[in-house]
Structure formats: C-alpha cells, structure tokens
Amino acid sequence: MPTLSERQKTLLMLIIRDYIDTAQPIGSKRLAEHYHINLSSATIRNEMAALTEMGYLRQPHTSAGRVPTEEGYRYFVSEMMHSAQLPEAVQHTISHQFYQSRPELDQWMTLAASILASQSQGVSVVAAPHVESTKFKHVELISTQGRQVLMVLVMLGGEVSQQILTLAEPVAQERLSGAATRLNGLLAGQTTQAISSLTVRPDPLDQDILLLILQDMRRLTEKASGEIYTDGLTNILGEPEFSEVDGPRRALKIFEEPATLQDLLAKTTSNSNVGALQVLIGGEGEYDDLRQCSLVIARYGVPGMATGVLGVLGPMRMAYSRTIPTVRFVAGLLSDLVSDNISGE
Amino acid sequence: MPTLSERQKTLLMLIIRDYIDTAQPIGSKRLAEHYHINLSSATIRNEMAALTEMGYLRQPHTSAGRVPTEEGYRYFVSEMMHSAQLPEAVQHTISHQFYQSRPELDQWMTLAASILASQSQGVSVVAAPHVESTKFKHVELISTQGRQVLMVLVMLGGEVSQQILTLAEPVAQERLSGAATRLNGLLAGQTTQAISSLTVRPDPLDQDILLLILQDMRRLTEKASGEIYTDGLTNILGEPEFSEVDGPRRALKIFEEPATLQDLLAKTTSNSNVGALQVLIGGEGEYDDLRQCSLVIARYGVPGMATGVLGVLGPMRMAYSRTIPTVRFVAGLLSDLVSDNISGE
DNA sequence: AACTGGCACTCGCACAAACGGAGTGCTAAA
DNA sequence: TTTAGCACTCCGTTTGTGCGAGTGCCAGTT
C-alpha cells in the first residue's frame, strides 16, 4: 500500500471520524466548510479521489460522498490506537466500581460486561478466565440422596467446581468423608499430571473419586474458555446500519451459540499476548455473520496461569476512540484482579 | 361483553388463526374462499362488522381486512386454552432430552429455555426455582489466602451457595475446620428460623460464621426468584411486526434489566398456583414496553418449598396453540424434577 | 327473517415520472 | 499546485395515477 502524505492522512482521519459520528457519506464541500482546513472543496476532492484510488475510501454511488472501506478503518484504528486514552475521571469511576463490588468472579465478569457495554454502546463479551494449569486444593463429598453425591472441588487459585456424582451404590456419609480426608491429604497442591499417575489403596472408593476429580480438573483446563458474560445486546439494534431486519439477527445470533463465540474468542486471541489489543474489522474475511461488524478484543489475566478474553462487538462504524481505551483499561483491571487472586498462593 | 353466536365464534377463531399464520389483515372474501364455510362473503362481512362492534376485531384502515384486538386474542386464548395439546411425539422428545441431561439445575434451566424458545419461536425465560423454605445441610470452610475464606453451604434440597468471606484476621485452616465440624453437627436439618435463635459457645469464630450462614440462607430465600435463563432472543427479530427498529428494542431491553424482569415474573404469578398458566396479552396495560407482545407464563415447582417461573415472550400474534401446551408441559416436567430433588430428603 | 348478489365507495400500495440537491470529475485559470 | 466553474450523475423524495382488496348498504331471493 502506498504511503499517505500528511495532508491525506489528516483528511482521512477527519473523514472517518466524521462518518463515525454521522453515519452519512462525507462530501468534499461539507468537509471544507465544517472543519476549518485551508483547502477548497476541489482540492479535497482530488485528495479524496487519491484516497479512494488507494482503497481507503469508497463511494456508495457515483455521486454520493465517501465512506470508509475496511482498509480505511484499519488505517484509522492503527493510527489512533496508541493515542486514545480514557479520561482519568472515567478510569476512577470504573476502578471504584470494581473495588466496591463483592470479590467474586461472577460479579467482576458481570460488571466488566456492563461497563464495556455502556461505555462503548456496543455489545460486550467477557469470557471468564480459563485456567491453564491448576492445582488441587480441597475436595468435599456430601451425600445428598441415595447414590447421588455432591462433590465440591476447590483449586488453589480459588476456582470452585461442583458436580453431582451418581455412584454405583449408596455410600454412607462417613465413608465419603473418610475418602475426602484421605484424598485431601494426598493431593494437596498437586497438579493434574502428578495426580494422574497416583494410585490410592485403602478403599476402592478413593480411586473412583480420584478419577472423577481428575476428570473435573481436566474439564476445567480443557475448556477453551470460561463462561461467557454478555451485555448491551440491544445497543446495536439502534444503529442505523442495522435498520434492515437481517443485519442484527446475523450478528446477534452469534451470541446465542456459545460454541461459535468461544471458538471465535479463542482463535482470534490465542496467539496474542495479554495486554495486547486486537481489532477485527468486518470479520476479517473469516466470519461471514460479522461482515458488517467490528470486534475490539483483548486477552487479560496472567499468562500461563489463567487468562480470559473480553471485548466489544459493534458496527464497523463504532466509536473506536472510546471503545479501544475502555477495553484496554478494563482488561488491565481484570488482569490485576486475577493476578491478586492467584498470587494469594 | 355480549355473548357470541356459535357462528360468530367459529368465524372469530378462524380469523385469528389465519391472522396468526399470515400476519395479514383478513378480509371477508378470502375467508369465504379459503375455508369452506357455506357462507357468502357478504354474510361474513355482517358478522365481522358485529365482531368489530363488540371489540374483538379492528380495521387498520377503512378498507382493509380485520385484525384481532387484544380482546380478540383474549377470547381466542381462553377458548383454545384447554383444547391445545402437545403431540405425543414431541412430549417424548422433550422428556427424553431432560432425562438424558446431567442432573444439575443449570443444565435443566438451560435446556428448558432452549426447548421453549425453539418450540415457540419466541423468547423464553426460565427463572430458577426460588427456595421458599430451606434447611441447612452442610457447611465447609476453606481458607484461601490471608483473611479470605471460601464458604460452601449446602442445603437439604441440594442447593449450593458459595461465597468468599473476608474475616477480621487470618485464621488457620484447622480452626476453620473445627468450626465447620461443630456447626455441621449443630445445625444439620435446621431451618433458618431455628438457627437464628441459636448461640454457639466454644469459639467466638463459630458465632461469626453462624451469622454469615444465616445471612446466606436468608439471601437464598429472600430473592424474589432465582437466576434467569433466556434463549431465542433473536427469534422475534424476524417477526414482521418488529420490522421497525424500536419495537424489538423495547421488548428486548426488558431482558437486559434482570430486576425488571424478575419483578414482572414475580408479580404476574405470585398469586397463581403451580400448574396454572397465565397469558398476558399486550402487557395488560401495565407494561408499556410489552404493549405489542404477549407473555405465556407458568409457575412450576413444589408450592411452599421451591417454585420458579417460566414462560415465553412473543409478538401478540404468537403461535399460542403451540406455545401454550409447550409451556404447560415443560412446567410440569420441571415440577417433577424439582419435586424429585427435594423429596430426596 | 336470514342470506346473498350487486354496486358504489374508500383507501392503501405499488409503480412511474418529475424534481431537487449533493457530490463528482474535469478543465482552465490564478 | 491550488482553485473556481461547469456539466453531469444519480439518489431520495415527492407527486400522481391506477389497481385491487375490502367495505357497507340495499334490494332481491329463499
């Protein structure tokens, strides 16, 4: 791609900013009048023609104003990426909300989703941190009825997994407690790998439970990502580009298929570092249902330990200058929270 | 309201059924031709005029066909309420899915929401059963880091509540375990009321924990309803009456405000019995955002023990003949599941 | 008395034609 | 290199027209 002159760059940025605001094709005259550039509309027209030639702009019809192409948005985003900053006041408000909430994961996730959605006016997605390596801390077995047993498994990081087991035959609570106590002693602090090579003797029940524990621990680490929290679904319904019926349906249906969504989140950020921020514009050719959308997405957490993904989906014409710093800031905040929680032990 | 002749009734039912199918105003001619009633269009016109006079039908414009009014829908629903039946095959499929799923509450809720949405082509809402009276079964205290302690509380019905406590000072795991053991012995099978009058001696910690347990148990029973599961949000976007931008937004935004939704569910079914089924048409004047919608809703569970609410939201022109029996059937199914789960002890 | 056929009338909707405006590209002059 | 001017394009809106579906009513039939 050819390089832009300073003037072209200014113009391009201006056009895109204006288009993001107004959702209307931008014409040369309007540009010359509205912003006090010392250029006539004719000159601007020439530059616009050049920018169109280079693929950054596009004309919906022969005689309409210009509209950014995906390429244009990419340029815009890469230019403003570093400069965009969230106002201090907003940062404080957000931090405050987090430190005031109850210190529980689902509270944080819900809050993060809510903040992202309201700040960006888009649809937010927050995937709970996915544990990459986990260590056993504690197991509890509680007989509920007949052959059913409630198993509560606590990991060192503080994750809790509960599951109802159905045993082959009823087992008394005392025997369950015994097994739990023995296993707790034996497994404390062990990784999945270490546990998988163990064999337990005294009671055959112990070995059964051990396998179930392993299975649960594997389930925790194998899932592509944690539970998904979402907010602001109705935000995009108001956007003018989604005034036709089908646009929003296609975009929103992604949120109804958790599998697809997790796949998307996993794929797009699997090779990116925590702290880095990705902007997917127009589905990047890969996701047809997102062709009209953009996705600002970041990985958060502690690499190698527990990381999650969060982001905002909106129309391609989204308020990047607001969304990008917000996503970055919230990701940082969640990283700190996750890190605090893990480092506790 | 005046009573309808047999012929008027037949006609009204036919018109509404047809309108539900086609979403088009129904004219006398079309009616006379399509269905083989032995009546001329003129006669039908007279009857239609009468039905319009009585408030069951409405003309969008002077010279368009007739469209049902809310009153019309109410009549329609009350007439077909008892007769509507879900095909046996569908019943079996649904039961099968439930008994094949993992026996856990959130699985059931998700499944119920999914089934309701797909069967009715509307938006489903399932509120997890709200425990009306609960008995203590087991508590577990696990120190996580510093002053933070994970408390896992298990109720007799099998509900589990976990919470992170922050104590005034760090407490060793042994002391926590001691407290847990003592409390388990003391509180087993007790109701909230019974527990609230107890005092515990040996370790002051015990009393602190006791209060936290109480608080948690109260929280469980005081919430208006359980967590809310939803599915099929995108279903109503396709409906022709929501082709304008604002309709679906207003309806869907209800789902973004859990508080409002819980309120709605609680209010509308608080005085209704389990097994009974309510149909709210056009928001019943109360809910402005639902003016274009209908809500088929039922309470399920075991009265006095644990009940929840589930329902389907759709356009006023919804497929009642499909939705009503489905809601009724799924409510019955969930009632059985809840009942099995509770009666276990 | 109830039903039907016929008729005049009313609108909404779809389609076409006309218009205005915003914007463009190009050229020639500063 | 920039600018002013001009001819042209094409969209969106408005206006006009005809069609069709539907209605209400009345007079005639069963």
Q: Is the CB of B23 under 7 A from strand D?
A: no
Measured CA to CA, the distance from residue B196 to residue B136 in angstroms comes to 12
Residue nearest to nucleotide C22 (CA to C1'): A64
Measured CA to CA, the distance from residue A51 to residue A46 in angstroms comes to 9
Q: Which of A281-285, B199-203, B210-214 has the highest mean pLDDT?
A: B210-214
| Pure H helices in chain B | 6-22, 28-34, 41-54, 70-80, 88-100, 105-120, 173-187, 192-196, 204-222, 246-253, 258-269, 320-343
CA atoms A314, A318, A322, A323: torsion sign = positive
CA atoms A257, A258, A263, A264: torsion sign = positive
* 3-state SS, residue A211: helix
Measured CA to CA, the distance from residue A163 to residue A150 in angstroms comes to 6
| Pure H helices in chain A | 6-22, 28-34, 41-53, 70-80, 88-100, 105-120, 173-187, 192-196, 204-222, 246-253, 258-269, 320-343
**pLDDT at B1 > cutoff 60:** no
Long-range contacts of A211-217 (CB under 8 A, 24+ apart): A212/A151, A212/A163, A212/A165, A213/A136, A213/A139, A213/A151, A213/A153, A213/A183, A213/A187, A216/A151, A216/A153, A216/A161, A216/A163, A217/A134, A217/A136, A217/A153, A217/A155, A217/A192
Measured CA to CA, the distance from residue A49 to residue B19 in angstroms comes to 53
**Per-residue confidence at A343, pLDDT binned at 50, 70, 90?**
low
Question: For the residues A165-184, what does the mean pLDDT come to?
Answer: 85
**pLDDT at B225 > cutoff 70:** no
CA of B46: nucleotide with nearest C1': D24
Q: How far is B37 from chain A (nearest CA, A)?
A: 37
> Which A positions 148-187 lie with beta carbon below 8 A of chain B?
148, 150, 152, 154, 158, 160, 162-164, 166
Question: For the residues A143-160, what does the mean pLDDT come to?
Answer: 81
**Per-residue confidence at B236, pLDDT binned at 50, 70, 90?**
confident
Amino acid at A248: P
Question: For the residues A269-288, what does the mean pLDDT come to?
Answer: 80
DSSP A156: T
User: Among all chains, which residue has been given the structure tokens 């509680």?
Assistant: A142
**pLDDT at A203 > cutoff 80:** no
Across A22-36, B22-36, B246-260, B309-323, least confident range:
B246-260
Contact A75, A18 (CB under 8 A): no
Specify the pLDDT at position B244.
Answer: 62
Amino acid at B73: Y
Specify the pLDDT at position A183.
Answer: 86
Q: Which residues of B touch A253 (CB under 8 A)?
A: 234
User: For B126-165, how does the pLDDT look when each residue is reduced to its tens digit (9 = 90+)?
Assistant: 999 887 778 888 888 888 777 888 888 888 877 788 888 8
**Which of B142, B165, B236, B289 has the highest number of chain A CBs within 10 A, making it the mutation to test binding with A?**
B142
Q: Which tops the pLDDT comparison, A243 or A70?
A: A70
Contact A157, A134 (CB under 8 A): yes
DSSP string, A256-273: G-HHHHHHHHHHHHTTS-
Share of chain B above pLDDT 90, in %: 40
Chain B: residue whose CA lies nearest to A341: B145
Across the interface, whether the CB atoms of B160 and A162 are under 8 A apart is answered: yes
The answer to whether A252 contacts chain B (CB < 8 Å) is yes
* 3-state SS, residue B28: helix
Distance of CA B104 to the CA centre of its chain: 18
Q: How far is A8 from chain B (nearest CA, A)?
A: 37
pTM assigned to the model: 0.86
- Note the residue count of chain A: 345
Specify the pLDDT at position A30.
Answer: 87
Residue B91 in tokens: 């019943």
**pLDDT at B68 > cutoff 90:** yes
Amino acid at A77: V
Residues 6+ apart with CB under 8 A from A45: A28
> Phi, psi (5° rounding) for residue A203?
-120, 130
Question: For the residues A280-300, what does the mean pLDDT come to?
Answer: 86
Q: Which residues of B touch A232 (CB under 8 A)?
A: 256
Question: For the residues A111-123, what does the mean pLDDT come to?
Answer: 96
**Which of B116, B165, B245, B250 has the highest number of chain A CBs within 10 A, making it the mutation to test binding with A?**
B245
Distance of CA A307 to the CA centre of its chain: 11
Residue B98 in tokens: 């439930």
Q: Is the CB of B27 under 7 A from strand D?
A: yes
Q: Is the CB of A64 under 7 A from strand D?
A: yes
**pLDDT at B321 > cutoff 90:** yes
What distances in angstroms separate CA A72 from CA A20, A40, A53, B117, one per listed residue?
A: 12, 23, 12, 40
Across the interface, whether the CB atoms of B252 and A245 are under 8 A apart is answered: no
CA of A29: nucleotide with nearest C1': C23
Q: Which tops the pLDDT comparison, B191 or B330?
A: B330
DSSP string, B291-302: TTEEEEEEEEEE
Specify the pLDDT at position B146.
Answer: 75
Residue B336 in tokens: 């059985």
User: For A45-74, how does the pLDDT look when each residue is reduced to its tens digit (9 = 90+)?
Assistant: 999 999 999 999 999 888 888 999 999 999
For chain B, report the end-to-end CA distance as a whole number of angstroms: 51
In sequence order, the β-bridge partners of residue B155 are B136
Question: For the residues B21-33, what does the mean pLDDT come to?
Answer: 90
Measured CA to CA, the distance from residue A49 to residue A53 in angstroms comes to 6
Specify the pLDDT at position A2.
Answer: 66
CA neighbor of A253 nearest in space, from B310, B312, B117: B117
Across the interface, whether the CB atoms of B103 and A345 are under 8 A apart is answered: no
**pLDDT at B271 > cutoff 70:** no
Contact B193, B138 (CB under 8 A): no
For chain A, report the end-to-end CA distance as a whole number of angstroms: 51
**pLDDT at B210 > cutoff 80:** yes
Specify the pLDDT at position B345.
Answer: 42
Question: For the residues A227-255, what does the mean pLDDT come to?
Answer: 78
Across the interface, whether the CB atoms of A158 and B140 are under 8 A apart is answered: no
C-alpha neighbours within 13 Å on the C-beta side of residue A176: 22
Residue B179 in tokens: 């407290």
Q: Which of A190-194, B36-40, B80-84 has the highest mean pLDDT?
A: B80-84
Chain B: residue whose CA lies nearest to A233: B256
The answer to whether B275 contacts chain A (CB < 8 Å) is no
B249 vs A238, A255, A344: nearest CB: A238
User: For B273-289, how does the pLDDT look when each residue is reduced to its tens digit (9 = 90+)?
Assistant: 777 899 999 877 778 88
Q: How many CB atoms lie within 10 A of CB B168?
A: 8
Specify the pLDDT at position A108.
Answer: 94
Q: How far is A232 from chain B (nearest CA, A)?
A: 7
Residue A253 in tokens: 């249906």
CA of B53: nucleotide with nearest C1': D24
**Per-residue confidence at A345, pLDDT binned at 50, 70, 90?**
very low
